[in-house]
Amino acid sequence: MPEGPQPVALLLAWLVPGLGHWYLGMRRRAWRIALGVLAMFAGGLLVGGIDAVDSTLFYKRMLSSSTPPERVDGDMVWFLGAMFTGPVAFGVDLAHQYRFKVVEDTMTAQGVVRVRRGAMPYEIRDARTGKAIEVRDKATGAPIEFLDPVTGVTRLATSADRPPNIQALGRVREIGTLLCTIAGMLNLIAMIDAGWGRRRSYDPDRGQSRAGGAT
């Protein structure tokens, strides 16, 4: 195994937590890194729901300047940490943005701006257009009549008519977001270790007897 920078291991470590160390022959370390990072990321989603991963699509605006004006509500700063968990973070984020959030066109000083936001508890999401449809009274939560976008029939809302996800609030939101972000930051440490670690040739985990210090 050559010493020095390992760009392939670095990339693999980002693609799947632990894969960089697996590639370098450190299988036991790889399993433990994967367990810690992925369990923490999954734990963040279990606690805070899909709302725990929310990029505001900042990378889309960075990659393309020709996209129409769009404002996305969310927690971009936290995603800067969570994105190091790998493609799984981007996959969850894209599902959140395009399958769970609702869109509405709002008039601003700059013209019409498309706003992408979380659905309120009194709204459902039209899967075809992504727009919100009010199915409950905002103040009381009592069901109201609405035009069903699937059947085209006006009917009274039932308990099955619920928002695509419930937005987390308070401490639960904080802990859920924190778990996903720390998962990404831990994988960043693992990526650096895989890409530039000095452990390589003497690591007993690679089946060699010579012991050495940590990186």
Partner 1 sequence: MNPAQMNTLAKASAAASTWREQLAGWSYRPFIDPINAHHWWWALIVPLALLTAVAYKAVRLPTLERYWREVALMSVQVLLGMAALAATLWLLVEVFAGSFRSS
CA atoms within 13 A on the CB side of 85: 29
Structure tokens that stand for 132 in this block: 């919100």
Shortest separation between residue 107's beta carbon and partner 1, angstroms: 30
Closest to partner 1 by CB, 151 vs 158, is: 158
State the Cα–Cα distance between residues 5 and 192, nearest whole angstrom.
10
State the Cα–Cα distance between residues 86 and 154, nearest whole angstrom.
44
The answer to whether residue 16 forms part of the interface with partner 1 (CB under 8 A) is no
The answer to whether residue 114 forms part of the interface with partner 1 (CB under 8 A) is no
Give the Cα-Cα-Cα angle 103, 109, 112 (nearest 5 degrees): 30
Taking each helix axis from N to C end, the angle separating 27-48 and 87-95, rounded to the nearest 10 degrees, works out to 20
The answer to whether residue 201 forms part of the interface with partner 1 (CB under 8 A) is no
The answer to whether residue 78 forms part of the interface with partner 1 (CB under 8 A) is no
Closest CA to 93 of 50, 38, 59: 50
State the Cα–Cα distance between residues 93 and 151, nearest whole angstrom.
30
| Contact residue for partner 1 among 76, 172, 196, 208 (CB under 8 A) | 172
Shortest separation between residue 66's beta carbon and partner 1, angstroms: 32
36, 41, 42, 46 alpha-carbon torsion, rounded to 10°: 130
The answer to whether residue 205 forms part of the interface with partner 1 (CB under 8 A) is yes
| Contact residue for partner 1 among 178, 180, 195, 200 (CB under 8 A) | 178
Closest to partner 1 by CB, 70 vs 182, is: 182
Helix (H, G, I), strand (E, B) or coil at 74: coil
Size of the site for partner 1 (CB under 8 A): 58
Shortest separation between residue 105's beta carbon and partner 1, angstroms: 26
| Contact residue for partner 1 among 120, 146, 162, 208 (CB under 8 A) | 162
Shortest separation between residue 199's beta carbon and partner 1, angstroms: 8
Q: Give yes or no for a contact between 163 and 123, defined as CB atoms under 8 angstroms apart.
A: yes
The answer to whether residue 120 forms part of the interface with partner 1 (CB under 8 A) is no
Residues that bind partner 1 (CB under 8 A): 17, 28-29, 32-33, 35-37, 39-40, 42-43, 45-51, 100, 121, 136, 139-142, 159, 162, 164-176, 178-179, 182-183, 186-187, 189-190, 193, 199, 204-205, 211-215
